[in-house]
Each structure stands twice: as C-alpha cells, then as structure tokens.
Amino acid sequence: MRYWLVVLMFVSAAQAAPKFELLDGDRVVFIGNTFAERDIQYNYLETLLTAQWPNRNVTFRNMGWSGDTVFVPARAGSGPNKGIDLLVDYVKDLRPTVLFVVYGMNESFEGEAGLSRFVDGYNKLLDALAVTKARVVLISPIPHQKLGPPLPDPAEHNKQLKMYTEAIGKIAGERGAWFVNLFEPMQTFMDQFPMTDNGIHLNANGYWIASRLTLTQLGIDAKARLELDHQDRFVDENLEKLRQVIGQKNIFFFDRYRPQNDMYIFHGRKHEQGRNAVEIPQFDQFIEAKEAEIAKLKRVK
C-alpha cells in the first residue's frame, strides 16, 4: 500500500522514545475500547510484532471490548457489574508480561468537565492492573475524521480528544510507561485519505497507518516486507499467511472469553443452559493449534 505514504509517515511520526522489544516468553495482552476489539478484523500490528522477533516465543491475546472505558462498564456482560475487578481477573488469568492499553475515545465526549474523572479512573485501572507487573504501553485515541455531512463536524470533538491525549501522555510519563500518540500524526493522513468508516472507527487503511505509527513510536524498525496490495493484504505471501492464522486464533480466543448468552451459561439463568459451560475451555485446543501454526509461519523467510 503506497510506499510514498509509508515514507511520509516515518517523517511525520518520528520521535525520540525508549527502545521497546518483546522478549522470549512474553505474553502480550491488548485491552481497551472499540479500537482494540475491531483490530481483530485486520491484525496488522500483531502480525508485525510477531514477525519482528521470529525466534522468540511470544503470544498475544486481544481483550478489546467495544464501548468500554477506563471505568469498565461494558465488560459486565449479562452478569453482575463488577467493573474493574472483572477485567483485572480476566487479565490476571492470562499472566501478561506486556499490556497495550487503549482508552480515551469514549470518555472524550465528556469534554473538559470529564477530564479529571477520566485521569482518576485511568490511574485506578492501571493501579489495579499493576498486580501483573507487566510492562505497559498506553495508546492515545485517534482523531475524529471529518467526512462531511450528514456526519457531524468533528472540530470541537478533536479539541477534546487532544486534551485527553495529552492527559494520557502525562499519565504514561508519571508511570514510566511507553506512550503512543496516534492523535496528532494521524490527523495529517486523515486530511488526505479515508481512514475511518464513520469518523471514529478505523477502516483497513486506518489500522495499517495506526500500526505503523505504533511501531515507529516504539522505536521498532520493521520496514521489510511491508507493502500491502489493493485488497489490504500483505504482498509478501508468507507474512499474509501469518496474518490470516493470527486472525483465526484471535477469533477462537474471542469466542472463548466472550461466549454469547453468558447469562444462560454463567449467570442468572445458568440453571437452563449452564451445562454448556464445559464447552468453553474446549476452545483452548483450537487456540493452541493456531499458536503452533503461527510459530512455524513466523520463522519462514
């Protein structure tokens, strides 16, 4: 996909940042809002991170949840609303060593009036996750792209998003976490290309640029084999095969930790279909099979 665009991206996004790398045995978990959940449709970032260290045993799990915020209201599902406790329990079970955390878009609609509450909520969430002792990467929200009528003018919302991005950067600095600022660099691209479906949800092109910006700001040099074709697939066949299998693994994990009708399986009406709960761990064998495929594919040059 457009080498000249990638070159421009490197120029506009380059900034000093501490070196980031994934180590042998790392377990990476993505948590956050719609940005994180919808990424399992594309998997560019996970594919690039996987291919960057092909001889290291690194696993990934995506726990993004559409509509979620730092106050974790969306993850209650059909069961009791445990908020942060439920998320932390999920994450602890995965024993992560690296956390990619993506929040701020949904909260930004509260504007300046909600900023201090957001900062307090984000710090409380990170405090609760600190029990994992994982290395943390905080990712900012993206800009709200102007697509014209009948969609709203995003000018005011972008002022709010900028405030929230700056607040997240400050949180990262205070905690010694890595910070990926997608807001300002992506504005340049959004002025020129369609990056979203509706202004705030990225399309394939948007996720591609966001993934490359993330690598750049983490100081990762991953220039090789990165061209995409006009169907948003890697031109490099081996890399595309890797991306496809990663996507299959992520769908299995999605179904494993977010089964439909969880009220009937785990909560108030489990007396009706609770017997089906035994099937949920059976997804593990499919996930493990895909992990084995990934391990082979990432070593193919």
State the maximum Cα–Cα separation within the chain, in Å, rounded to a whole number. Answer: 59
The number of helices, as runs of H, and strands, as runs of E, in the chain is 13, 5
Given this model, what pLDDT does residue 1 score? 46
Could you report the per-residue pLDDT of 96-111, keeping only the tens digit for each? 999 999 999 999 999 9
Given this model, what pLDDT does residue 84 score? 81
Pairs from 153-158 (Cβ < 8 Å, separation ≥ 24): 154/199, 157/108, 157/109, 158/187
Please state whether 129 falls in left (phi above 0), alpha (psi between -120 and 50) or beta.
alpha
Domain 3-297 matching CATH 3.10.450.50: the answer reads no
DSSP code for 83: T
Q: Which tokens sit at 7?
A: 């070159």
The per-residue pLDDT of the chain, averaged, comes to: 87
Q: Which residue has the higher pLDDT, 151 or 256?
A: 151
Arithmetic mean of pLDDT, 145-173: 96
Arithmetic mean of pLDDT, 180-193: 93
DSSP secondary structure string for all residues of 202-220: B-HHHHHHHHHHHHHHTT-
Arithmetic mean of pLDDT, 126-142: 97
**Contacts with 226 (C-beta within 8 Å, 6 or more apart), sequence order:** 6, 48, 212, 234, 236
Can you tell me the distance from the alpha carbon of 291 to that of 278, in angstroms, rounded to the nearest whole number?
22
Given this model, what pLDDT does residue 13 score? 43
Arithmetic mean of pLDDT, 191-210: 94
Given this model, what pLDDT does residue 299 score? 87
Q: Which tokens sit at 80?
A: 């009791």
Q: Return the closest-CA partner of residue 189 out of 3, 59, 6.
A: 6
Arithmetic mean of pLDDT, 169-196: 95
**Contacts with 16 (C-beta within 8 Å, 6 or more apart), sequence order:** none
Residue 262: pLDDT band (50, 70, 90) is low
**Torsion angle of the four alpha carbons 281, 286, 292, 294, in this order, in degrees rounded to the nearest 10:** -110
The domain locations on the chain are 3-297
Given this model, what pLDDT does residue 10 score? 45
Q: Which tokens sit at 208?
A: 């591609």
Does the pLDDT value for residue 271 go beyond 60?
no
Cβ proximity of 213 and 13 under 8 Å:
yes
Could you report the per-residue pLDDT of 213-238, keeping only the tens digit for each? 999 999 998 655 568 888 899 998 99
The one-letter amino acid at 144? H
The one-letter amino acid at 14? A
